[in-house]
Structure 1
Amino acid sequence: MLDRQIPDVTLKTRVRDETVDGPNPFRWQDFNVREEFAGKKIVIFSLPGAFTPTCSNEQCPNYERLYDEFRAAGIDEVYCVSVNDAFVMFQWGKNLGLQKVKLLPDGSGDFTRRMGMLIDKSHLGFGMRSWRYAMLVDDNKVVEWFEEPGINDVGSDSDPYGETAPEKLLEAIRAKAGQHAEAA
């Protein structure tokens, strides 16, 4: 996965727009990942689904907690991608009280499929979902990659979490920055 370009995909997002009348003042907005991430250092982590236990109790809150440390390490933004629609992602972020990590809905699984991380969790009632992974993207190129073990054993109830913890990615980012400092 290292040194490859992220997929050229447009995700369908919802953004608040006060010019929209009614109780749901949001409009659709396309989010082209390559355009949005061009020239930036972005942390992206992906998880099986909004409102699921590990994703809600561990992974997403941990990235939110360490968001300022990522920013201090030179990261422009932190995004969570999940194979859920924009409405579910919005409600999940609201439920978690997220204020820093940005949620990206990959409702069709297009981004996840092109990353090679779309798996079938039908045996658990989920359908197609993302395997848990995290990466550092620098100007649309994957420069750090972490994924949970067992992607080839997706028929089990296994939902590992540890390799994609924000602490591991943050450590790699700091080590990379240290290497650059030593070279200078």
Structure 2
Amino acid sequence: MAIQVGDRLPDVELQVMGENGPEKVSTGQLCAGQKVVIFAVPGAFTPTCSAAHLPGFVVDADKIKAKGVDRIICTSVNDTFVMDAWGKAHNAEEIVMLADGMGDFAKALGLTQDRTANQMGIRSQRYAMIVDDGVVKLLNIDEKGLESTSSEAILAAL
């Protein structure tokens, strides 16, 4: 069953790129006492994710933070090196590029999709959520497109 509004985020250990290489971080640490926007993409460097989803949050990061958001997190079932390179390619300095390399976070949320037919394995669904001190306040999922998971949709919901 997928996570719902009102549920507490599962505390899963993932990775971010630190100054000296990959560093472990927990979703609990990232969200404790913070208002956070988390958005997930099926894959870094994939067409829609690279052309529209991540770039929208890069452009709107200041507007989102001006609405009281402490942190913006982008996650994908990719390794730390890929997430770091993808963030750098899009100048995503204001966004935490969170690597869910084994899909543990996506699985814990119940928000996976099977992309094995396209040789992509099990990936995250495309979603965006607003989380306040670890509790989900808004959860939008897009099967196709970015109508409810774009930075614009999140800005409108804040």
TM range (shorter): over 0.9
The residue number in structure 1 matching 2:117 is 123
Q: Give the corresponding residue for 2:23.
A: 29
* 1:89-147, Cα deviation, whole Å (9 max, x unpaired): 11111222222122100001000111111111011111111110000000000001111
Structure 1 CA distance for aligned equivalents of residues 109 and 141 of structure 2: 12
Q: TM-score, normalising length from structure 1? A: 0.81
Asked whether 1:102 is paired with 2:87, we answer no
2:45 counterpart residue number: 51
- The share of aligned pairs that are identical, in percent, is 37
Q: Which amino acid aligns with 1:130?
A: S
Q: Which runs of 4+ in 1 moved over 6 A?
A: none
SS at match of 1:133: strand
Matched, 1:7 2:10: yes
Partner of 1:68: 62
Report the count of equivalent residues. Answer: 155
Relative to its length, the structure with more strand (as a share) is: 2
**Separation in structure 1 between the aligned mates of residue 50 and residue 58 of structure 2, nearest angstrom:** 11
User: How far apart, in 1, do the equivalents of 2:155 and 2:90 lie?
Assistant: 22
1:154 equivalent in structure 2: none
Matches within 5 A, 1:100-179: 100-149=94-143, 159-173=144-158
TM-score by length of structure 2 reads 0.94
Q: Secondary structure at the match of 1:51?
A: coil
